[in-house]
């Protein structure tokens, strides 16, 4: 099912709560705005937030002869989405599965979804280096994976965990496309001044230490948080986040 996908990119982080799913959705929307055909696969089985972030809750996936048909965000079918959230009857339902069942579900997502012709498939993963990640690696054998974008916040408690994710990539042969420092400062919605309520520069320092490319910083911006299903590069073109997402898209598409 991935033979017609030109580029596969993993979005990883060794730490939970770093905004990885928000980065994944906004990057997918940015690529869509640049006229690419994009797929977004959410394999965070226990915390599927992609349907909410794209305002797709309540949508259903359909079974076709070739497999599952993903949910599309637009009539032009420029952004296709698959998540276990579409398979749950209630958003309050919990996934209480052991490793083998989670592994089987991830493999099914990677082999039984009719993505069609895509320029980019972004895979949003759960934090850590466990069952889901190993299943992805095994399922992508024989399929060219461009590499991984790693997300961290600037605090040391985050960068210490994310460093392990970089080690995971190196051990499994996944190229690291770069590292993003998310939640780097707070943008006031009234005056747009950026204040460093957390530390700053931890992600950039980690990238230098690990000798991986640094893709840029993303501040906490309440305006971006309200853009459910909308691209910040279109709705807030002058914002720091839009500038960074445009730069990231430029780096990974050239």
3-state DSSP assignment of residue 243: helix
- The secondary structure element, H or E, covering residue 12 is strand 5-12
b (16+ CB within 10 A) / e for 233-253:
beebeebbbbbbbbebbeebe
User: Considering the entire predicted model, what is its pTM?
Assistant: 0.92
Domain range annotation of the chain: 2-253
Cβ distance 220 to 186 under 8 Å? yes
| Dihedral Cα 235, 238, 216, 72, nearest 10 deg | 10
Q: What is the pLDDT of residue 10?
A: 93
Instruction: Read off the pLDDT band of 67 (50, 70, 90).
Output: confident
Q: What is the pLDDT of residue 39?
A: 97
Choose the weakest-confidence range: 34-43, 100-109, 128-137, 208-217: 128-137
192/238: higher pLDDT: 238
Binding site as annotated, residues: 14-21, 188, 191
Cα distance between the two ends of the chain: 25
pLDDT greater than 70 at residue 104: yes
Residues in CB range of 103: below 8 A, 6 or more apart: 131, 132, 134, 135
Binding site as annotated, residues for [4Fe-4S] cluster: 188, 191
Task: Take residue 70 and report the two structure tokens written for it.
Answer: 């993903």
pLDDT tens digits along 167-207: 988 888 889 999 999 999 888 877 777 888 777 889 999 99
Instruction: Read off the pLDDT band of 232 (50, 70, 90).
Output: very high
Cβ distance 153 to 202 under 8 Å? yes
Instruction: Read off the pLDDT band of 1 (50, 70, 90).
Output: low
Q: What is the pLDDT of residue 228?
A: 93
Region 2-253: CATH code: 3.40.50.300
pLDDT tens digits along 174-184: 899 999 999 99
The average pLDDT across 130-143 equals: 75
Binding site as annotated, residues for ATP: 14-21
Upper half-sphere CA count for residue 100 (Cβ side, 13 Å)? 0
Helices (H), 181-239: 202-210, 222-225, 232-235
Residues in CB range of 8: below 8 A, 6 or more apart: 2, 120, 121, 123, 140, 143, 144, 145, 146
pLDDT greater than 90 at residue 231: yes
What is the percentage of the chain residues whose pLDDT exceeds 90?
57
Task: Take residue 98 and report the two structure tokens written for it.
Answer: 């052991």
The average pLDDT across 3-32 equals: 93
The average pLDDT across 69-97 equals: 86
User: 3-state secondary structure string, 122-141?
Assistant: EEECCCCCCHHHHHHHHHCC
Given the structure tokens 């640049």, which residue do they identify?
34
Q: What is the pLDDT of residue 105?
A: 85
The average pLDDT across 134-161 equals: 86
pLDDT greater than 80 at residue 142: no
What average pLDDT does the chain have?
Answer: 89
Task: Take residue 25 and report the two structure tokens written for it.
Answer: 């959705």
145/131: higher pLDDT: 145
Residues in CB range of 7: below 8 A, 6 or more apart: 119, 120, 121, 146
The average pLDDT across 71-95 equals: 86
3-state DSSP assignment of residue 121: strand
Q: What is the pLDDT of residue 197?
A: 78
């Amino acid at each position: 099912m991935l033979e017609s996908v030109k580029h596969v990119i993993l979005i990883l982080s060794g730490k939970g709560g770093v905004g990885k799913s928000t980065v994944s959705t906004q990057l997918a929307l940015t690529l869509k705005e640049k006229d690419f055909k994009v797929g977004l696969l959410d394999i965070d089985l226990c915390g599927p937030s992609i349907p909410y972030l794209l305002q797709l809750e309540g949508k259903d996936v359909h079974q076709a002869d070739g497999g599952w048909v993903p949910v599309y965000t637009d009539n032009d079918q420029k952004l296709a989405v698959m998540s276990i959230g579409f398979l749950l009857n209630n958003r309050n339902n919990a996934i209480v599965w052991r490793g083998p069942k989670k592994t089987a579900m991830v493999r099914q997502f990677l082999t039984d979804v009719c993505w069609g012709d895509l320029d980019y498939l972004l895979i949003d993963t759960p934090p850590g280096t466990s069952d889901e990640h190993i299943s992805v690696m095994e399922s992508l054998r024989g399929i060219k994976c461009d590499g991984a974008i790693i997300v961290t916040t600037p605090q040391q408690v985050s960068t210490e965990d994310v460093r392990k994710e970089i080690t995971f990539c190196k051990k499994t042969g996944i190229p690291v496309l770069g590292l993003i420092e998310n939640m780097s400062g707070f943008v006031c919605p009234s005056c747009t001044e950026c204040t460093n309520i957390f530390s700053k520069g931890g992600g950039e320092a980690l990238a230098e230490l690990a000798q991986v490319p640094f893709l840029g910083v993303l501040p906490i911006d309440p305006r971006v948080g309200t853009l459910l299903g909308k691209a910040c590069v279109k709705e807030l073109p002058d914002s720091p986040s839009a500038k960074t997402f445009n730069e990231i898209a430029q780096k990974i598409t050239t």
